[in-house]
């Protein structure tokens, strides 16, 4: 048993999760892939390295790469107003507050651009971290983004585009832009342009019946610390696929995607992006703005969410960037993000290292789960053999 294996086994013993799969790799390939625990807390079926996870917001980085392919081809202009591709986007107004239960709305000072969708600076936010949007959905009896409908992402803005960073459904609108610019459904575009070329055979917006035996159950942390299975799936065959949340994947598949980025857009003989494009999309695209702490308004779904408190953080077209090194872990200029069910990834271009840690439970940013991420990442950097 390696130190990396011990991190996973300790996590299960500590009750961090019912089961976990983790992977680490260098530009040369995956050098660790391990699993511990069970797919479901009340079942004996063991967690395996080919287990399938709902990766939720880890979908965003893949959708960002899909958009970058269209930019390469001259089919997408990042600085064009979103309404150039989706005229209905111009109808979204800014939610100022409420008069009782009546929303107070005004026109935005400027129209959001495609780039601002990708960088979470468009004014769109999630209801889990914004009390006004949470109330808006309730009083207007509106579906949320998990409905898989266009109405379900038609939230009002909460600030004028470009004024700050705040996290939300902008990537789901970017998925619609990708469809309009490419002429293909989002699932088909990602399949043809990313998944098939890279051999990511277990990644997609649907989990077909023949693979559902490998699908990990979702759990919810109870007040006593125990885990109880719940049902929480992206919608099947929806009106719109969620570019911000809709994918299923495995640790091996997602590592393949990350290693493509570490290898300047090419991996396993497939060139997904040109090296210059990878360099461009990984730059800071929010200028002087900062990625900030997300304060929960729905503790059953998420804790407060902030990686590396006190550290300057920026956003590329696909990921968060830590601007300072993390002791014993990733270097400055590394990239990361996560999914709502406690799935996490990072990649470190300076050291050519990437890692994935996958669990399936709410609330997001469960302290026991983030401890697993930190412990695994530290073990990866301590382990890093010279040959990787």
- Which residues belong to the active site? 57, 60, 167
Contact yes or no for 128/301 (Cβ under 8 A): yes
Contact yes or no for 118/64 (Cβ under 8 A): yes
The length of the chain, given as a count of residues: 388
Q: Could you write out the three-class secondary structure of 140-194?
A: CCCCCHHHCCCHHHCCCECCCCCCCCCCCCHHHHHHHHHHHHHCCCHHHHHHHHH
The pairing of strands 227-230 and 218-221 is antiparallel
Strand partners, 335: 321, 347
Place of tokens 């959905």: 137
Closest CA to 117 of 59, 152, 74, 166: 166
Backbone angles phi, psi at 265, to 5 degrees: 100, 0
Backbone angles phi, psi at 138, to 5 degrees: -70, -50
* CA angle, residues 147, 150, 154, in degrees to nearest 5: 100
Which CA distances in Å does 137 have to 145, 175, 271, 302?
Answer: 11, 22, 42, 18
C-alpha 313/C-alpha 289 separation (Å) is 9
């Amino acid at each position: 048993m390696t130190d990396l294996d011990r991190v996973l086994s300790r996590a299960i013993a500590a009750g961090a999760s019912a089961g976990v799969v983790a992977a680490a790799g260098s530009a040369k390939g995956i050098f660790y892939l391990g699993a511990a625990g069970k797919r479901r807390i009340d079942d004996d079926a063991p967690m395996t390295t080919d287990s399938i996870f709902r990766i939720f917001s880890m979908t965003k980085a893949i959708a960002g790469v899909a958009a970058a392919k269209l930019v390469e081809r001259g089919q997408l202009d990042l600085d064009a107003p979103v309404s150039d591709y989706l005229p209905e986007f111009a109808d979204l107004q800014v939610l100022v507050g409420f008069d009782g239960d009546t929303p107070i709305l005004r026109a935005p000072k400027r129209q959001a651009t495609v780039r601002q969708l990708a960088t979470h600076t468009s004014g769109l936010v999630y209801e889990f971290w914004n009390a006004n949007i949470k109330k808006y959905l309730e009083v207007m009896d509106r579906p949320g983004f998990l409905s898989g409908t266009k109405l379900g992402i038609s939230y009002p803005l909460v600030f004028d585009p470009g004024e700050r960073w705040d996290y939300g459904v902008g990537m789901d609108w970017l998925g619609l832009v990708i469809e309009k610019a490419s002429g293909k459904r989002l699932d088909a575009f990602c399949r043809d342009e990313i998944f098939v070329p890279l051999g990511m055979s277990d990644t997609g917006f649907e989990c077909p019946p023949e693979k559902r035996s490998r699908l990990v159950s979702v759990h919810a942390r109870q007040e006593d610390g125990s885990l109880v299975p719940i049902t929480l799936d992206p919608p099947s065959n929806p009106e719109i696929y969620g570019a911000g949340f809709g994918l299923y994947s495995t640790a091996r598949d997602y590592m393949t995607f990350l290693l493509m980025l570490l290898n300047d857009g090419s991996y396993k003989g497939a060139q997904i992006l040109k090296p210059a494009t990878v360099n461009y999309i990984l730059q800071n695209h929010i200028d002087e703005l900062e990625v900030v702490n997300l304060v929960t308004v729905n503790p059953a779904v998420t804790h407060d969410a902030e990686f590396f408190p006190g550290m300057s953080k920026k956003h590329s077209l696909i990921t968060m960037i830590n601007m300072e090194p993390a002791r014993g872990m990733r270097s400055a200029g590394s990239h990361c993000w996560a999914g709502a069910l406690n799935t996490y990834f990072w990649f470190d271009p300076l050291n050519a290292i990437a890692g994935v840690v996958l669990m399936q439970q709410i609330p997001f940013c469960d302290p026991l789960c983030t401890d697993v991420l930190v412990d695994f990442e530290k073990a990866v950097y301590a382990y890093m053999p010279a040959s990787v």
